[in-house]
Amino acid sequence: MKHVSSILSICFLGLALPFASCKNGGQPATEPVETEVLPEDIVELRADQIKLAKIELGAVELRAMGNVLKVNGVVTVAPQNQATVCMPLGGFIKSTSLYPGNVVNKGQTLAVIENQDFVDIQQNYLEAKNKMVFAEGEYKRHTSLFKDEVYSEMNVQQVTVEYRNLKALLKSLEQKLVLIGVNPNRLTEDNISNSVNLVSPIKGFLKAVNVNIGKYVSPTDVLFEIVNGDNLLLELSLFEKDADKVAVGQKIRFSINNESEEHDAVISQTGKSVNSDRTFRVYATVHTDCKNVLPGMYVNALIEEATAEVTAVPSDAVVSFDDKDYIFIYQKEKEEDGKPFTEYKMIEVKKGVSGAGFTAIQVVGGGELSAAKIVIKGAYNLLSAKKNAGEMAC
């Protein structure tokens, strides 16, 4: 773009008329005024134009940056942080006061369930326990008498078998009590009940509640789903060609629902096999406290590859024109016709990796930018001034 600081002189050619030249002697020609031609890579702005364009200057920085891999995935939790709650022996729902979203603690009652079979199990256990007292005494007595050669070996064997069978029965009934939520050590003839409490196996929030009062549930019915969101994971899907670009320990920045806020995670596990769609899974542990991140949400993630220290500028400082990238640097102050102007120089660069609002650059053809003042804001306004002479350019 060329800039002319003064009006070009206009030269008039006089006609050589004999009668005029004889009478007036002719008019002297106006001398041409010197013109200024700006180089193609220079833009000039006045102070008011600089303010209008919101030009801000800064410096290049040395930043540790690496390539970034863009991937998608979902928020999930580890298997030990989620639970599906069923009632092993089934029954009728006697009471419940919970609904999806409620926070529950480990051991908290989720529902009270009734079943006549619960009574039978408790009765059988207490009967076996009482018989065990007699059987154990008989076993010890017969063993002692056998040593004194009072009883035969066959009698001792018979008492031993009965004792061990009763012991096995008592143990199996004890495990059934534990399965339905009854503590065998606290069970007596006075507290037999036809209802038991279904308790939460973990701390978390209720993702699903599939019960109501009076409903009959079978052992295979899922009554509650509980998720502990304190330790979230990202399950990311990558193409097989990117398998060599990720490793345990790499940092990840992710966002949800197209939000501008970013969260941090670190890769904790990489897939060891490729799926039929030629993708593999990568798992990352969320390290920040994310109140608005919930299991099941879709995420957009950026996986940072190995970093290196590079020359970088704010991403807004780099502009594109005719399929090339440029930055502007402060050149000098000057005056024209008594008015102050500022010159900015346009320099072609090659872009590198981007991240955290910065872009790595290299000057095309070489060059040093460490001492240069870079236009970090308003660069596109300078580009517009270059392309549209007369609007902002002088």
Residue 171 contacts by C-beta under 8 Å, 6 or more apart in sequence? none
pLDDT of residue 35: 55
Determine whether 51 is exposed, middle or buried from the number of CB atoms within 10 Å of its CB (0-12, 13-18, 19+).
exposed
DSSP class of 317: G
DSSP 328-345: EEEEEEEEETTEEEEEEE
- For residue 232, the SS3 value is strand
Least confident span in 12-26, 142-156, 173-187: 12-26
Phi-psi region of 303 (alpha: psi -120 to 50; beta: other; left: phi over 0): beta
pLDDT of residue 215: 94
pLDDT over 80 (residue 7): no
254 touches 301 (CB < 8 A): yes
Distance CA 152, CA 162 (A): 16
pLDDT over 70 (residue 371): yes
Residue 392 contacts by C-beta under 8 Å, 6 or more apart in sequence? 45, 49, 52, 53, 381, 384, 385
302 touches 62 (CB < 8 A): no
206 forms beta bridges with 226
Distance CA 105, CA 203 (A): 4
Structural domains of the chain sorted by starting position, each given as residue range(s) with its CATH number in brackets: 42-66+309-387 (2.40.420.20), 68-80+228-308 (2.40.30.170), 82-226 (2.40.50.100)
Banded pLDDT at 96 (limits 50, 70, 90): very high
Measured in Å, how far apart are the chain's first and last C-alpha atoms?
Answer: 10
Distance CA 371, CA 60 (A): 8
Handedness of CA 137, 143, 144, 148 (dihedral sign): positive
For the CA atoms of the chain, what is the radius of gyration? 43
Mean confidence (pLDDT) of the chain = 82
pLDDT of residue 369: 85
232 forms beta bridges with 77
Q: Which of 322, 383, 332 is nearest to 41 (CA)?
A: 383
pLDDT over 60 (residue 20): no
- For residue 85, the SS3 value is strand
361 touches 313 (CB < 8 A): yes
* Farthest CA pair distance, the chain: 172
Query: Token digits for 84?
Result: 């599906």
- For residue 189, the SS3 value is coil
Residue 371 contacts by C-beta under 8 Å, 6 or more apart in sequence? none
Per-residue pLDDT, averaged over 283-292, amounts to: 82
Determine whether 73 is exposed, middle or buried from the number of CB atoms within 10 Å of its CB (0-12, 13-18, 19+).
buried
pLDDT in tens, 297-315: 999 998 877 666 788 889 8
When comparing pLDDT for 21 and 306, which is higher? 306
Tokens 């029954």 -> residue: 91
Distance CA 151, CA 166 (A): 22
pTM over 0.85: no
pLDDT over 60 (residue 10): no
Per-residue pLDDT, averaged over 15-24, amounts to: 37
Distance CA 176, CA 48 (A): 86
CA dihedral 225, 228, 234, 235 (to 10 degrees): -30
- For residue 298, the SS3 value is strand
